Amino acid sequence: MTLMRNQHPQVKKSRENWVTTWSQSQKGIGFFPVNDNDHTVAYEIPVQNQGDQLTLTLGNYYSEIVLSITSVTVSLSKNSGFQTVTVNGSESFVVDARGLVKTDSIDLLMTPGAAIYVRIYYPEQPQVNRAISGNTFATRVERSVKGDFTKTDSFKADGSYVDDIKDDAYAMSFADGYELEKQRFTLTLQGVDVHTKAAGGTIVAFGDSITEQGHWVKPTQAQVAEKLGNGFSLVNSGISGNRLLKGFANLPRRTQFFGLAGIERFVHDVFEVNEHVIAVVIALGVNDLHQPGTEAQFPIDELPIFDELVTGYQRLIKVAREHGSRIFLATLSPFIGYTVAVKNEEKEAIRKQINEWIRNNREVDGIYDFDALLSDPTDRTQANPLYDSGDKLHPSPEGGLAMSRLIDVTAFNA
């Protein structure tokens, strides 16, 4: 159910008929023991919209050091037809520390449900300059053996997941784990904008792992396509472990694996990365409550009080209004049983209080009561077994579909 609230002025368009068809929120992968310098990395990216032009967003948000890129190419085919993408007419360019760049546009005919293929070649540069800003949203990621394969049909994949990063002992301390897991991240590539025939806008899902896992986002994307049309998209700006109010204390920016605090990353991840944002869904805050006291990096004194959470949400509401965007809030679902019990009665009392504040909020355009759906009707402090993934925090695919059914996507463009 969507509860409609006050209206506000129409969003200003930065570029006529442009929409972000895919994007991700980056996090700090500074401990990730792979150095992509003198390698080509290839990504397969899904497309939501039909369009005739494309630009890429390349980010270096978690690095304190400039990142050099020699070549970026794009194709509709995995193995042929790659076109060079430039920045201000230059094939090679840099991305500033904590910054991003939008590339020049290229002509490319894209269809919904298809994919584009992006290759990035990083030149030889000091190891401290390696790409460390990324996330896990590409459908396929491959790294080449050493060399520039951005303009060739062939691509010689490198099976190695660990490099000798001599100047970063902290990263190498994780080497064994990554060799075992063989996990790759979507580094540097942060967004894909598409020029569409019909004017529309981008809707952003801003949250934590419940958002990042995509179980409610993907079916809602299908609703957006069906009910709003080709000019609209829904992108996923979730980061697992993310909190509304805090990041990791006493860790450098490049190692913020759960992302900067929501209040800190909001402007960048929502309005700077994405094109023509017309609405934002805020589904963030459960980690602020359940994490404190459960591990050494989350001391119990980081548990916020009710007023601090309210101030955080109000800050996001204010920023969204300043950018001409509609804003929607979701209640916080249960987490008892997910991890060790530390002050659970106090945490649950705050969760109940903040959910009532969200349900009665008159500053936003609507609310989604995920808590009412995902909590057990016989014990509202527990996850509903019908929709629980089994870990007592994250919903299953069936739970995500049920969450999506609460969302009337036409309200995003009301």
**CATH superfamily of this structure's domain 199-410:** SGNH hydrolase (3.40.50.1110)
Rounded distance between C-alpha atoms, residue 296 and residue 280, angstroms = 33
Question: Which stretch of DSSP H or E encloses residue 272?
Answer: none
Q: Which sign, positive or negative, has the C-alpha torsion 282, 194, 11, 100?
A: positive
Which three-class secondary structure state does DSSP give residue 170? helix
Alpha helix ranges (H) inside 271-330: 286-290, 306-322
Where along the chain do its domains lie? 16-187, 199-410
- For the chain, the first-to-last Cα distance in angstroms comes to 15
Each of the 414 residues of the chain gets a pLDDT tens digit; together they read 333 333 333 333 468 899 999 999 999 999 888 999 999 999 999 999 999 999 999 999 999 999 999 999 999 999 999 999 999 999 999 999 999 999 999 999 999 999 999 999 999 999 999 999 999 888 889 999 999 999 999 999 998 888 988 888 888 888 888 888 887 899 999 999 999 998 899 999 999 999 999 999 999 999 999 999 999 999 999 999 999 999 998 889 999 999 999 999 999 999 999 999 999 999 999 999 999 999 999 999 999 999 999 999 999 999 999 999 999 999 999 999 999 999 999 999 999 999 999 999 999 999 999 999 999 999 999 999 999 999 999 999 999 999 999 999 999 998
Q: Write down the pTM of the prediction.
A: 0.95
> What amino acid is encoded at 276 in this protein?
H
| Residue 59 Rama label (left phi>0; alpha psi -120 to 50; beta) | beta
Cβ atoms of 150 and 4 within 8 Å: the answer is: no
Rounded distance between C-alpha atoms, residue 373 and residue 215, angstroms = 14
